[in-house]
């Protein structure tokens, strides 16, 4: 059996202008990065962003999932297979996905280009450096960090007493979570404790993904709160005159990237915030571009619906106005068995009782999505060891909840294996339109920050109440006093459980959800609340995936997955 990277290496991609032509884009609309990748020009993205909203009504399809397990779920694989299937049904479809971070590629999670016959290509380029967007975000972030310490060295006229803003790098490196800087004498600056985030957890990444255009990007960069003075008043990036130079670094990164699937479906791949430590969606600019060019756009939100989908509605849709017209909830027999208590080593054995027990997790996500006014279609992402009886049981359990479950075989069969899923999604879109169903938010802007956090924890995570540390309560009060009480909340927690505790599988309920720390992302436009043992700088596993990645003398990469 070929690996994903071997399948990708054997693919015969179309030149990117041929893919662009499927969306009526011309060579003038493209800024090519080699033969098979391009950015959409500034002029074209601006024209699409300012087009009359009533001129084109396209449908946005959100793909989310049950709580992830080591068994794998395959949201990207399903998303890609679904878009390919819509194309097979003669629909003008495109993808809008996040771009991968280098850290997970070299760690344990692997890349983010799908798998099997449902992939976006060229896989190696997309996973390893792509068009340099994340590198630009890293550079812009660290420029601001350097300007902060430079200002402190040369007199500190702004009276900076506490620095919030951290440096970043696009790798998993736990040794950088807390560092001492400015050591070695006065020539090297003022010594202080600092730390690194992974680049995709940088506020700059969130800003790029939520910005409407370059002007909005600069405005948001100006509003970054980098620290506070001795009077406990906020100090902004604009006080350091940093936004212009940062935007200059990001001027090309803000433009969406165009690639293709193995079946030559156009795919916009842009922005990459994680959903466990950030808001987990691709960019507003990419989504608007795709919706302006295609009739159906498939996008995804990171990790489970408790993280990615909640943030898609309460942050992405709240800010952009782009609500999904249909939601696909990905599940696997293997994941349901793990949530039912089966060890990973025993997943290939049929186990109907474990599926029934583990269905509690999928049922919780169905319930959660309905709280946003979304009626999901369940895509059962098929694995080779799944038995017919197991698959039928999942469908039966879903029917009992009033939800249609469709077997998805995108990994093995590409778009052909997702045709039934595509037909079901199209029917659901039509049904939602006929019933005038309108998705909505979980909470209103005017709700206090602590109550917003409690609303998410109790309504989505199943908690009975929320516990705040004294420091978290003080900071929430401070952010509200600064005028940021109207912002939505972005909860950073484990992706491996609906709760804060990665060991609580299934559908935990009735517990106290802890908030240990809160951070202000004023430029992005949300407040981050951290729960449990969550790090914004991941570490590498005992045996990193990097040990298996190589490249030969022809430039062919192996070992990626």
Catalytic residues, which ones? 75, 77, 98, 109, 275, 303, 383, 411
Cβ-Cβ contacts under 8 Å for 25 (sequence gap 6 or more): 40, 44, 258, 293
Extract the tokens encoding 220.
């948001």
- Phi/psi at 322 (nearest 5 deg)? -95, 90
Helix, strand or coil, per DSSP, at residue 162: strand
Return the residue matching tokens 């052909």: 416
The CA distance from 341 to 326, in Å, is: 31
The CA distance from 376 to 368, in Å, is: 10
- Phi/psi at 178 (nearest 5 deg)? -140, 125
Cβ-Cβ contacts under 8 Å for 438 (sequence gap 6 or more): 323, 373
Extract the tokens encoding 60.
């946005």
198-213: string of b/e by CB count within 10 Å (b at 16+)?
Answer: bbbbbbbbbbbbbbbb
Q: Is the dihedral of CA 453, 525, 40, 99 positive or negative?
A: negative
The CA distance from 162 to 188, in Å, is: 19
Helix, strand or coil, per DSSP, at residue 521: strand
Helix spans in 298-343 (H): 310-311, 318-320, 333-339
378 beta partners: 329, 405
The CA distance from 258 to 25, in Å, is: 11
The CA distance from 249 to 214, in Å, is: 11
Extract the tokens encoding 216.
């909005």
Helix axes 214-222, 243-250, angle to 10 degrees: 140
Extract the tokens encoding 381.
């992402």
The CA distance from 230 to 549, in Å, is: 49
Taking the CB of residue 184, how many other CB atoms lie within 10 A of it?
9
The CA distance from 84 to 77, in Å, is: 11
């Amino acid at each position: 059996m070929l690996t994903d990277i071997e399948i990708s290496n054997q693919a015969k991609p179309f030149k990117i202008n041929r893919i662009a032509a499927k969306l009526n884009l011309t060579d003038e609309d493209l800024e090519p990065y080699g033969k098979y990748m391009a950015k959409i020009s500034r002029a074209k993205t601006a024209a699409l962003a300012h087009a009359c909203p009533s001129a084109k009504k396209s449908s946005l399809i959100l793909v989310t999932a049950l709580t992830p397990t080591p068994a794998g779920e395959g949201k990207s694989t399903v998303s890609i297979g679904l878009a390919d299937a819509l194309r097979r049904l003669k629909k003008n479809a495109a993808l809008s996905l996040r771009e991968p971070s280098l850290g997970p590629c070299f760690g344990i999670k692997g890349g983010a280009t799908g798998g099997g016959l449902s992939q976006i290509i060229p896989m190696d380029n997309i996973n390893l450096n792509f068009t340099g967007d994340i590198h630009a975000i890293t550079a812009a972030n660290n420029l601001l960090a350097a300007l902060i310490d430079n200002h402190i060295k040369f007199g500190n006229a702004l009276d900076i007493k506490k620095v919030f803003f951290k440096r970043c790098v696009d790798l998993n490196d736990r040794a950088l979570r807390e560092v001492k800087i400015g050591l070695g004498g006065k020539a090297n600056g003022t010594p202080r404790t600092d730390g690194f985030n992974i680049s995709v957890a940088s506020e700059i990444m969130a800003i790029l993904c939520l910005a409407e255009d370059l002007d909005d990007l600069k405005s948001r960069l100006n509003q970054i709160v980098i620290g506070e003075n001795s009077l406990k008043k906020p100090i902004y990036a604009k006080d350091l005159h940093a936004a212009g130079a940062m935007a200059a670094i990001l001027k090309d990164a803000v433009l969406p990237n165009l690639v293709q699937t193995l079946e030559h479906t156009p795919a916009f791949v842009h922005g990459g915030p994680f959903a466990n430590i950030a808001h987990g969606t691709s960019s507003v600019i990419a989504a608007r571009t795709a919706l302006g060019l295609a009739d159906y756009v498939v996008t995804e939100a990171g990790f489970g619906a408790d993280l990615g989908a909640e943030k898609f509605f309460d942050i992405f849709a709240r800010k952009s106005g782009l609500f999904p017209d249909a939601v696909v909830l990905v599940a696997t027999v293997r994941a349901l068995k793990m949530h039912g208590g089966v060890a990973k080593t025993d997943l290939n054995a049929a186990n109907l009782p474990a599926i029934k027990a583990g269905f509690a997790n999928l049922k919780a996500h169905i319930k959660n999505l309905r709280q946003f006014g979304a009626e999901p279609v369940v895509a059962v992402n098929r694995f080779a060891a799944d038995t017919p009886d197991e698959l039928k049981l999942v469908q039966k359990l879903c029917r009992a909840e009033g939800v249609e479950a469709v077997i998805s075989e995108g990994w093995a069969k590409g778009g052909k294996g997702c045709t039934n899923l595509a037909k079901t999604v199209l029917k659901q879109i039509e049904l939602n339109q006929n019933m005038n169903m309108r998705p909505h938010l979980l909470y209103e802007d005017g709700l206090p920050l602590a109550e917003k956090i409690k609303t998410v924890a109790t309504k989505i995570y199943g908690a009975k109440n929320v516990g705040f540390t004294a420091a978290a309560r003080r900071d929430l009060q401070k952010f509200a006093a600064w005028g940021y009480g109207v912002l939505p909340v972005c909860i950073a927690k484990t992706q491996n459980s609906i709760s804060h505790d990665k060991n609580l599988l299934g559908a935990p309920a009735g517990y106290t959800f802890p908030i240990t720390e809160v951070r202000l992302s004023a430029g992005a436009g949300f407040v981050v609340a951290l729960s449990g043992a969550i790090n914004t700088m991941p570490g590498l596993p005992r045996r990193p995936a990097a040990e298996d990645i190589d490249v030969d003398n022809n430039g062919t990469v192996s070992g990626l997955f």
